[in-house]
A and B are shown apart, each in its own frame.
Chain A
Amino acid sequence: MNRTSTRTTRRPEQQGSTDANPTTTQQAPATPPRGSRRAGLKERLYWGASDIWAVTQRNLIAYTRMPEAMVFSSIQPIMFVLLFVYVFGGAMSTPGFRYVDFIIPGIFVQTVCFGAVTTGVGLAEDLNKGLIERFRSLPMARSAVLAGRTTADMFRNVFVVLLMTVVGVAVGFRSNTGFFSFMGGVFLLLAFAYALSWGFAVLGLVARNAETAQAMAFPLLFPLTFASSAFVPVGSMPGWLQAFAAHQPVSVVVDACRHLMVGGPGSPLAAMAWIIGMLMVLIPLAVRKYRKAS
């Protein structure tokens, strides 16, 4: 019907080329459409996990390509440890604890809170650079972009917690609750960080650019981390602030981690309840925002 005839004359001698494509048969070449709805549940789960892992790898590689970013983002929490232990520590009164034992679980939680901002910033950057546009045109699981990002950030947190533990021990932190209890605290910490990552994923998708995401994060994080039991006992705060500080999730998680790492009051169950509740709300919200972001 049009100039195709001029093309067909060229086509035969090029047919041997690597990309030769029998487009006359109306089917996707090379692979059957595995992403189609007819595919079995088992297959969908397999490819879903494979997609998440591919995106996770991509984000982890990006972290290794920016070692300087990793180094500098680790310096800040280390400085917090030194600041609180050596500068403020002498003036703090934490009945029942040496201040260094009190503060390290708090700084663990504070560090993963601020670290979670990276999830939102990274997603906003991806949106801006058009990479997500490509992902949307691929037969991959819709949720893999978000799940891969949050999973990569969880791996990053494992590294951060390990580093902070070493620094903590170096400045005198000692866990006296036993290995498994301490690891329980680490697990809780990582789970909370993972839930927060989903929260910041929502923020990143709403903000749509890295600077805005960053700017939106801090007014949220400051009251949550500082008006908490992370650095000082909540009992030392004025009554109106105590009401907030004692019940907000960061305090609940700090108390639970402290309980598992160095003893004292705190409910790991309450912390788990917060974490599960956050995941149940934030994951569907993030997925919905992702679907709508265009």
Chain B
Amino acid sequence: MDSAAIVASGLVKRFGDVPALDGIDFFVPPGTVFGLLGPNGAGKTTTVRILTTILRPDAGEARVLGHDVVTEAAAVRSSIGLAGQYAAVDENLTGAENLRMVGKLTHLPRSLVRERTVELLERFDLTAAANRPVKTYSGGMRRRLDLAASLVHRPAVLFLDEPTTGLDPRSRNEMWTVIEDLVADGTTVLLTTQYLEEADRLADYLAVVDHGRIIAKGTPAGMKAGLGSTVIEIGMPGEGSALMALQALAPLGVQPPTVDGTTVRLTVADGGTALLEALRALDAEGIAPTGVTLREPSLDDVFLSLTGHAAEASAA
């Protein structure tokens, strides 16, 4: 435990009467990616804000690289980077000016500030736009600049608060590649996300957060094994046949199938084989589906299987 890059124990935070965090515990070994997965208002951002010294917890304690986030906040700040969903860069400054400002504010020597600015602009494919005010940037460019700004002082621990929320699929993929490169360089990353796919691709270890509590922990592979890696949705002509299909499919899947109107939902570990089996089972009963969809499990599916209710954004 002493060697953990991030330790949170019993973190509690209330905003008025609303508990935003209700006892959060986890630790992150150095050089790994830890994902906090949950819907809006689950407490992900509050956790990040406490770990980055922006907020004080009401109870519990947290350490980053061995430094207490409350009593040794200054030491924590010199070794962390924060990039967030709000792309906190100055719109009126150019990309280069933004990075230089952050470099100065992290107290790097002047020559290093210049060096790092050039290096990061290059790395994040922003060199051509370096001298344009950020207000002319696209959403994806802003996000990359925001991430670049969090890396100016080469933080050993990086906090990414929903790094791809609101990005189009192409920008999201670019962002993922960038984050994977960082991790390959050995940076410890704490990532929050609403996307199971993102957590699966980037995180070594996951915690699912709901209403300020961690409701499940594990590796993405382990979670998927429990959850099934594919969701098969079979549309039936009517509710009667849907119920019949439900019975026919009951022996298949990693969990009992569910029905929603005329749609039967089956979660399976092995998409291809299971699909064949499912169709055979339906055929044997003489039921013909109107449509079949195969998809990756979503955050909703995770929540459904963990809590019995769908992921809901709680007002925080």
> Contact residues of A with B, CB < 8 Å?
1-4, 7, 10-11, 14-15, 17-24, 26-37, 47, 50-51, 54-55, 57-58, 61-62, 65-66, 129-131, 133-140, 144, 294
Contacts and interface: CB of A to CB of B under 8 A. Distances in A.
B contacts with A: majority SS: loop
Contact of B66 (A1, A22, A26, A134): A26
A30 B184 contact: no
A15 B181 CA distance: 10
Given A30-B112, A139-B106, A23 B90 contact: no
Nearest to A294: B55
A118 to B, nearest CB: 14
B280 interface: no
A47 B66 CA distance: 25
Given A11-B186, A23-B30, A140-B105, A61 B97 contact: yes
Nearest to B123: A18
B77 A130 contact: no
Given A34-B78, A54-B104, 19 more contacts: A15-B185, A21-B154, A23-B31, A23-B157, A27-B79, A28-B75, A29-B79, A30-B112, A34-B107, A35-B107, A36-B75, A47-B107, A61-B93, A131-B89, A133-B86, A134-B88, A135-B105, A140-B106, A144-B105
Contacts, number: 182
Nearest to A57: B101
Nearest to A22: B186
Interface in B61-117: 65-66, 72, 74-75, 77-82, 84, 86-93, 97, 101-102, 104-109, 112
Nearest to B83: A134
A1 B29 contact: yes
A233 to B, nearest CB: 43
A4 B184 contact: no
B5 interface: yes
B84 A130 contact: yes
B153 A31 contact: yes
Q: Which of A17, A19, A133 has the most CB of B within 10 A?
A: A19
A133 B187 contact: no
B88 A21 contact: no
A17 B106 contact: no
B133 interface: yes
Interface residues of B, number: 65
Given A50-B107, A139-B106, A28 B79 contact: yes
B240 to A, nearest CB: 46
Contacts of B119: 18
Contacts of A2: 29, 32, 204-205, 219
Nearest to A132: B88
Contacts of B32: 2, 4, 7
B221 interface: yes
Contacts of A4: 29, 31-32, 204
Contacts of A37: 74
A193 to B, nearest CB: 22
B72 to A, nearest CB: 8
Contacts of B89: 131, 134
B250 to A, nearest CB: 33
Contact of B154 (A30, A61, A62, A137): A30
B182 interface: yes
B52 interface: yes
Contacts of B87: 130
Nearest to B30: A23
B164 interface: no
Contacts of B129: none
Interface in B161-187: 181-187
Contacts of B156: 21, 23, 26-29
B154 A19 contact: yes
7 contacts: A17-B184, A23-B157, A29-B153, A31-B109, A34-B107, A58-B101, A61-B92
Q: Which of A15, A32, A131, A137 has the most CB of B within 10 A?
A: A137
A153 to B, nearest CB: 15
Given A2-B205, A7-B204, A130-B84, A31 B107 contact: yes
Contacts of B112: 30
Contacts of A33: 74-75, 78-79
Interface string B180-224: 011111111000000000000000110000000000000101000
Contacts of A24: 30-31, 186
Contact of A35 (B3, B31, B74, B221): B74
B151 interface: yes
Contacts of A131: 88-90
